[in-house]
Structure 1
């Protein structure tokens, strides 16, 4: 007679707690949003010289600075979506997705609009250090109006980030790769990165998102202003 008992696989269950439990709830809410994605290729030649303009700063700091400027120019992306309406903010508070031993967390850099690169770098270093040593405060993880997820250092060529609800947009930054770019003079190798903007379609339409992303590209490819 055939054995009808179910096959049991032994394993170890670790209850979700802390950051991972909060992240799971956040992801469920994010997947309920009707999101769309927009991608551009950015020539990072100028961006990669950021340390010569502002020693101690990184490309991530420049991304925060550029996004802050673009958000001031296009405040519809600096918003929260809620059941009762869309709240747009004057203050620009940008969250940075940080991988830690306890899971992914997003500390916020508050009031970065108009800050010089050195000021942004100081805020970023402190927030990342507190995230990785599990010393984030409630102030660190609240008040964000926009988020950047940079996986470039991990060799990822392109990805779509999940919305950090109730925020209406998040920018995904992939690796910078040498690509042959055709120009009027023939062509040359350039450091190119793909940036993908995810937007909540309830608050942002495609044209608005496209103009905002084009502004980010323009700022990254232009002269660096400290």
Structure 2
């Protein structure tokens, strides 16, 4: 079981409340979409889960227990910018191997992970500077998978990519069956493609949450309707 739970989580930066009493569950094996405009607090919530933003209130648990801060990290995060998330001095193989548990057959493991993200194993010898944005983001996913996580948090992982390669990364996310994931995006069309449930965040609070098909077909909150109206090619209901 790998259930990530946010319980009344609050994060503050000085007097500014970035996340305000958010409760959300990422069930075992599910992909949950978290959407909202820039500044809505969704990335802050993600950073809080992996210990990069301190809590002012509430708690975050994995299978009912506090998330370990030392040793193996059961949560792994994939960041938005594929160009800054990889060490430019390390080869792809070294980057992935570094995240693998001790005692693992690293050479074979790296090759397997690269194949899993649809990259040739020979990519292991390359430096990030030789890769495209889409390839780098797939390496970042491979690195996250190398740590054998219970949950992956994907923070806007397609927003910095060309439209032509976004689909390949989204297809890869859909292939990761059985892995719990919090998939963060400002794009409802993207979330519709990968997530079974969606939570909508505005000004640090959740304003709507439910099965993706239901929320996107019959949104209850005005803000959700505004986000849907902004999706290209979609007509809002009167």
Q: Structure 2 length as normaliser, TM-score?
A: 0.30
Larger Rg: 1
Superposition TM-score, scaled by structure 1 size:
0.31
